[in-house]
Amino acid sequence: MSENIFITEETAAGDDDGPLADKTVAVKDNISTEGIRTTCGSAMLDEYVPPYDATVVERLKDAGADVAGKANMDEFGMGTTTETSAFGPTDNPAAPGHVPGGSSGGSAAAVAAGEADLALGSDTGGSVRCPAAFCGVVGIKPTYGLVSRYGLVAYANSLEQIGPLAPTVEEAAELLDAISGPDPNDATTREEGADTDYAAAADGDVDGLEIGVPTELLDGADDGVVEQFWSAIDELEAQGASYHEVSLPSVEHAVEAYYVIAMSEASSNLARFDGVRYGHSGGFEGNWNEAFSKARREGFGDEVKRRILLGTYALSAGYHDKYYKKAQDARAWVKQDFDEALADADVLASPTMPIPPFELGESLDDPLKMYLADANTTPVNLADLPAISVPAGETDGLPVGLQLIGPAFGEETIVRAASALDQ
Ligand code: GLN
Task: Kindly give the residue spans of alpha helices, DSSP state H, lying in 248-301.
Answer: 254-269, 288-299
Its pTM surpasses 0.90: yes
| Domains observed in the chain | 6-250+331-419 (3.90.1300.10)
Q: How far is the CA of 25 from the centre of ligand 1 (A)?
A: 22
Q: Has residue 359 got a pLDDT over 60?
A: yes
β-sheet with 242-246: strand ranges across: 6-8, 66-71, 24-28, 118-123, 161-166, 138-141, 387-395, 398-405, 347-351, 210-214, 242-246
Least confident stretch, 76-85, 272-281, 306-315, 337-346: 272-281
Q: Which of 23, 28, 141, 294 is catalytic?
A: 28
**What's the ipTM?**
0.97
Tens of pLDDT, residue by residue over 268-283, are: 999 999 988 888 887 8
Q: How far is the CA of 127 from the centre of ligand 1 (A)?
A: 5
Burial classification of residue 56, based on how many CB atoms lie within 10 Å of its CB (0-12 exposed, 13-18 middle, 19 or more buried): buried
Tens of pLDDT, residue by residue over 362-414, are: 988 888 888 999 999 999 999 999 999 999 999 999 999 999 999 999 999 99
Q: Please report which confidence band the pLDDT of residue 189 belongs to, taking 50, 70 and 90 as the band edges.
A: very high
Which residues line the pocket of ligand 1, CB cutoff 6 A? 77-80, 103, 122-127, 155, 262, 374
> ω into residue 103 within 30 of 0, thus cis?
yes
379 vs 212: CA distance, rounded Å:
15
Q: Which residue, among 50, 138, 64, has the nearest Cα to 94 in the 3D structure?
A: 138
Cα–Cα distances in Å, from 272 out to 54, 103, 254, 275, 292?
A: 19, 21, 28, 8, 10
* 87 vs 318 pLDDT, higher one: 87
Q: Has residue 1 got a pLDDT over 60?
A: no
Torsional sign, CA 128, 416, 217, 314: negative
Pairing of strands 138-141, 242-246: unpaired
